[in-house]
């Protein structure tokens, strides 16, 4: 079982540094609202990961594959992210806020439950997260003979390593707080909104052109551009 722990730790580190919308919003929350706010946001993210993990575990492999590759789910998740990015971008005032502006003061008042829900939803709409947990179940589950105790230790270690790295990211981002002038806060929020919008567009494109993205992923994995659909190779 100790070997399962050593195998899981690198996977947790990889998960912590996947550059998705959650990664950037976590850093933004830590820098603008502090350690506790980012902590609750991250708890919501991890709860979404646990839900996806349970779905992957209790569903059949065939059903999981159909869910993971369903283009409609990519389009839905992409639309949610793109809409979220657009709304948050538009909500930002066109002028740079004054330090005493009420919008700046609001960053000091945190609704921790709302932040946790925000983290959960932002992670849950990304169907790629389900694909990540599905891949781990398919690859490592048989190697552990699907023994429940070993799987619990393995995935608890993955999530634990992920959470510890996130705490370090939060602590580092919080140190930037004193360097955030009103103009930088305005620019940061606008940039985060654009990044989330771009991730949404990528998910939508993946839903409409799944074969194109499959070929790209195959190229990065093998260095070979397939001349026909990867599934047929």
Interval 169-199: pLDDT, tens: 888 887 776 666 667 667 777 787 788 788 7
- Which of 22-31, 55-64, 202-211 comes out lowest in average pLDDT? 55-64
**Cβ atoms 71, 210 nearer than 8 A:** yes
More confident residue, 109 or 16: 16
CA 222 to each of CA 18, 68, 134, 228: distance values in angstroms, whole numbers, following the listed order: 20, 22, 21, 15
Q: Which of 200, 155, 144, 153 is nearest to 52 (CA)?
A: 155
| Residues above pLDDT 90, as percent of the chain | 17
Domain holding 204, by residue range, is 2-232
Q: Is the pLDDT of residue 95 over 80?
A: no
Total count of domains within the chain: 1
Which sign, positive or negative, has the C-alpha torsion 190, 194, 199, 200? positive
Cβ 37 vs Cβ 170: under 8 Å: no
Whether the full predicted model's pTM is greater than 0.75, yes or no, is: no
230 DSSP assignment: G
């Amino acid at each position: 079982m100790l070997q399962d722990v050593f195998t899981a730790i690198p996977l947790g580190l990889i998960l912590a540094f996947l550059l998705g919308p959650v990664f950037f919003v976590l850093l933004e929350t830590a820098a603008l609202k502090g350690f506790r706010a980012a902590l609750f946001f991250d708890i919501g993210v991890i709860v979404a990961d646990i839900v996806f993990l349970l779905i992957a575990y209790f569903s059949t492999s065939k059903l999981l594959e159909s869910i993971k590759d369903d283009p409609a789910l990519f389009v839905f998740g992409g639309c949610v992210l793109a809409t979220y990015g657009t709304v948050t971008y538009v909500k930002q005032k066109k002028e740079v806020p004054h330090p005493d502006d009420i919008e700046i003061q609001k960053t000091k008042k945190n609704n921790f439950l709302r932040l946790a829900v925000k983290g959960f939803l932002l992670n849950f709409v990304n169907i790629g997260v389900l694909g990540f947990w599905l891949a781990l179940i398919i690859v490592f589950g048989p190697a552990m003979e699907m023994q429940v105790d070993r799987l619990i230790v393995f995935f608890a270690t993955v999530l634990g390593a992920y959470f510890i790295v996130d705490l370090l990211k939060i602590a580092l981002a919080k140190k930037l707080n004193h360097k955030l002038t009103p103009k930088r806060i305005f620019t940061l929020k606008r940039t985060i909104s654009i990044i989330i919008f771009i991730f949404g567009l990528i998910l939508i494109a993946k839903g409409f052109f799944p074969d194109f993205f499959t070929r790209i992923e195959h190229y990065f994995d093998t260095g070979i551009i397939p001349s026909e659909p990867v599934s047929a190779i």
